[in-house]
Chain A
């Protein structure tokens, strides 16, 4: 079995991981960078596949990504693409599997930059073919240069929803409408903090303008409550929320469409951090867990850092600065940089993060997922897509006495399929908290055990 050693191992080649790799390698450290996809960029800086014509591919690269792509080509960075970390057993060790089979990575320092995925929201019809996440919809366009042919409705909340709607409009998609759960009033209320980062606000305005010019119907303070269709999407039902976030009676309307893109914000991919034993806390505004971290983003496990959207969703700009800061911290801990030198190099990212903090906090408030999202599933709605477990089955387990998410998993099989609870855990916790009055933070995670992503037996047999 292949074993690779470096000063630092970085999991994830998106903005955070690339910036961490660049700083660590720049300070003289040997770096291993593991990326599940075939190229760098993560979701936000996803580029076209290497097989596409060079000119088209080159033009499509995000300008913010270019310097980091270049920096990560430092010879001290060894990159492993199409490689998935599936577990960790010894201290300073990661178990991965890639195109050449199993790989053990040994490094005294580990930086987790695992990224985020769209928050799953279970609602009637969300399992129909034609319902996708907004992030997935962006991959079709940005990662493969394709566009769905039919009428598309986008529903959710937050900046990614706006970005993808605008990208689809510019590419010539037939957009039935955009339903944004947040209100414009809330955006105005937080305007002072948001305008502290004028560049980001200006970009947002540009996306909004594309939608206006494309005459795309914009539904503010609106959520999709149900998706209809027999074998694929035929329509979506929208409702308006009142200022308290409750459904306003009599506002239900049915919009015919062939595809629905759902995107109620992003949640960090925490499985590896949990597996490594990093302590978590619940962030009530972002409605997600986040690892406890030092001011250099070291977790409660010494030598293990967590950065970027994989530690708490804050976008690419924040991710880059967290990456730089943690990469420099590891360089100091490895003895490559003196404390003074590390501190001085960390000054710029620290200052930028401080400035971005007010913007991020305001964005989190404006685009806070409304509580009503947890009430949309009906008894027959499938919560666990892998094992086909419905809300009625989960409720019945709770009625029988299940009091923790892990118990519901054992009793109903919800969360035992290949996605390992990534799509259903939050819905199950919501059902549990509604029935028992428990706080989400106390409902307990599903236990995270290796392999944190499915592994075939053939690979397992080759591990020594």
Chain B
């Protein structure tokens, strides 16, 4: 999957902030979802599936399918597509759904 690009001018988006994706600092804007920030940063495999360990990414984008679940500030099974980023947020990808 290709990375996402942000359209329009930077100042039209929310305030600039920083999140940590698997320990790496990544720039983001207030109002963006965790999923958008991950994809814009080139992180297209969000987790490995439970039994077959297949790569999985954002699928329904609207909170229905639970494919995009990641760990946010230590809390597992958080839907990246439904969760707005916050400054300093720690996001961990790659965990199996438990």
Contact = CB atoms under 8 A, between A and B. Distances in A.
Which among B36, B39, B59, B60 has the greatest number of chain A C-beta atoms within 10 A? B59
B70 interface: no
Main secondary structure of the interface of A (DSSP, over half): loop
Given A51-B31, A145-B13, A171-B7, A382 B61 contact: no
A269 B13 CA distance: 32
Contact of A51 (B14, B52, B58): B14
A422 B36 contact: no
Nearest to B52: A388
A440 to B, nearest CB: 21
A431 to B, nearest CB: 19
Contacts of A43: 62
Given A146-B7, A149-B2, A385-B49, A50 B61 contact: no
B4 A50 contact: no
A133 B66 CA distance: 13
A36 B63 CA distance: 9
B23 interface: no
Contacts of B1: 128-130, 148, 150, 232-233, 258-259
Given A52-B14, A130-B44, A144-B36, A423 B3 contact: no
Interface residues of A, number: 55
Which among B57, B75, B84 has the greatest number of chain A C-beta atoms within 10 A? B57
A139 B97 CA distance: 24
Contacts of A137: 61
A231 B56 contact: no
Which among B40, B56, B61 has the greatest number of chain A C-beta atoms within 10 A? B61
Given A139-B81, A422-B64, A144 B58 contact: no
Interface string B21-52: 00000000111110010011000111001111
Given A38-B84, A130-B2, A454-B77, 18 more contacts: A51-B14, A51-B15, A53-B13, A56-B8, A117-B60, A127-B54, A129-B55, A131-B59, A132-B58, A135-B61, A136-B58, A148-B3, A149-B2, A232-B45, A385-B56, A386-B50, A418-B69, A423-B64
29 contacts: A36-B63, A51-B31, A53-B12, A56-B12, A127-B56, A129-B1, A132-B59, A136-B81, A139-B62, A139-B81, A140-B4, A140-B61, A146-B4, A146-B6, A147-B5, A148-B1, A148-B4, A149-B4, A232-B45, A382-B52, A385-B56, A385-B59, A385-B67, A386-B50, A386-B66, A387-B50, A419-B64, A423-B64, A454-B66
